[in-house]
Amino acid sequence: MEVTISRIALGFGACYLVRHEGAVLVDCGYPGRGRAFRRALSALGMSPGDIGLIVLTHGHADHVGSAAEIAAMTGARVAIHRADRSWLESGRSAPVRLVGALGRRFSPAATRVFSALPFQAVRADVVIGDGGLSLEPYGVPGEVLHTPGHTPGSISVVLREGSAVVGDLAMGGAPPLRRRPGFPYVAEDLGLIAASWQLLLERGVRTVYPGHGSPFAAEALRTIAGL
């Protein structure tokens, strides 16, 4: 049985449903997207109860906004890294720091609005440490790795078959703002992001599934960061 990765758009960005013997949802999109998620799930021939775990890649509102609604709908456990846990459980988005020429195109006012975007707080059932988390108990051949840089608690889902769902650790091509993969517009530490990219490459990742933009070949990370 092959691993299936399905992209589900929930606002400006995407979450991913990873299926094998079980199903793991990575990220939950903007607030108020529960109905859209249910429709997308139905289109994939799945029921909410099929999902055993929700992995949140970091504590920004466009990735955790509908977590409470989707968790209640599915009954799935919610997992997040300990460094971003307080944002999820407080209903407040982690701070936003714009970087690079493209990042500076977003106005400070827009950044403040994004940072203040409210969402329903949800309690983490699984708090991930720096040692990561195996997804084998949830029927998915892979693991969660701590890949900081975008936020202190950013994590990536790395599958044994060579794919990685990375949240905002990297961005794919998303015209008209970006036509090729690159660093995210928002980051705590670009050096840490490059180190996290190196870790993914060392783990044999071949395809990157970003939260924003199209999937791309992982070798692009090596070229962009000069690894």
Give the tens place of pLDDT for each residue, 17-27. Answer: 999 999 999 99
Q: How many domains does the chain have?
A: 1
Helix 34-43 and helix 67-74, axial crossing angle in degrees, nearest 10: 50
Specify the CATH number for the domain of residue 19: 3.60.15.10
Three-class DSSP category at 130: coil
Task: Enter the pTM of the model.
Answer: 0.94
Give the whole-angstrom CA distance, residue 167 versus residue 80. 12
CA atoms within 13 A of residue 6's CA, in its CB half-sphere: 18
pLDDT of residue 50: 97
Residue 65: domain span? 4-225
pLDDT of residue 114: 60
pLDDT of residue 174: 67
Tokens of 94: 């982690």
Give the tens place of pLDDT for each residue, 114-168. Answer: 666 789 999 999 999 999 999 999 999 999 999 999 999 999 999 999 999 999 9
* DSSP-derived secondary structure letter, 92: -
pLDDT of residue 104: 63
Give the whole-angstrom CA distance, residue 80 versus residue 41. 22
Which mean pLDDT values do the consecutive 10-residue runs of the chain (227 residues) have? 93 92 96 95 96 97 95 98 96 76 59 70 96 97 97 97 97 72 88 96 97 94 87
pLDDT of residue 11: 84
Tokens of 55: 């992995």
